[in-house]
Amino acid sequence: MTWSLSPETFDSPDATTLRRDYYADVASRYWKRPATDEEIDQGLAEDGAELLVPPTGQFVVGRYGSEAAACGGVLMLDADRAELTRIYVRPAFRGRKGGSLLLDLLEDEARELGARRIVLNTRLDLTEARSLYARHDYAEIPAYCTGPYMEIWYGKELARRRSSLTPR
């Protein structure tokens, strides 16, 4: 089995299912109980996912074999800065490099949108995500936004990728 990742509309059937799974996972951890369908619907109702389309952002779905297994988005905050959002790998697929591939592609998408820096916010209890960001050279930064589910902020400069045709 191998990973395939590509941009996809945030409201495709697979993207919608992954977004619901993401919200159920993070909300259930936060509330320390399973999130209800009504709570998930409410959380997704005005989550801003409609902005995850060019030129304001991009949404990506990752498949392991033929199964939708991961998703994430990048949202332009201003002319130079993009935010990672909704980074999620289904638990059954964690540890198979999908998160790393997802971050690499989202960073490329952010570059294509014009970003020179990428930032994100998360919670302290989302240890798998925080480990992934650390492995990809994200460093803790001062808060750039506030909200009830934000406890730690990360950022990194986006180096320009060399074209495979660029001589060394």
Dump pLDDT digits (tens) for 2-49: 999 999 999 999 999 999 999 999 999 999 999 999 999 998 998 899
Number of H helices, E strands in the chain: 4, 7
In this model, does residue 106 exceed pLDDT 60? yes
Residue-level pLDDT at 166: 44
Residue-level pLDDT at 162: 55
Question: In this predicted model, which residue has the larger pLDDT, 42 or 161?
Answer: 42
Judge contact between 88 and 72, C-beta under 8 A.
Answer: yes
pTM for the model stands at 0.91
Query: Which residues, 6 or more positions from 50, have their beta carbon under 8 angstroms from its beta carbon?
Result: 10
- Please, what's the b/e burial string for 130-167 (b: 16 or more CB within 10 A of its CB; e: otherwise)? bebbeeeebeeeeeeeeeeeeeebbbbebeeeeeeeee
Cα 21-57-138 angle, rounded to 5 deg: 75
134-159 average pLDDT score: 95
In this model, does residue 163 exceed pLDDT 90? no
CA-CA distance, 49 to 42, in Å (whole number)? 13
Structure token digits, residue 149: 């589910």
In this model, does residue 115 exceed pLDDT 80? yes
Q: What domains lie within the chain, and their CATH numbers?
A: 3-118 (3.40.630.30)
100 C-beta neighbours (distance < 10 Å), count:
14
